[in-house]
Amino acid sequence: MFGEHMDSDLLGARLRDAREAKRLSLRALATAVGVSPSLLSQVETGKTRPSVSTLYALVTELEIS
Provide the pLDDT for residue 8.
Answer: 86
Q: For the purposes of burial, counting CB atoms within 10 Å of the CB of 44, is it exposed (0-12), middle (13-18) or buried (19 or more)?
A: buried
pLDDT tens across 1-53, in order? 445 566 888 999 999 999 999 999 999 999 999 999 999 999 999 999 999 99
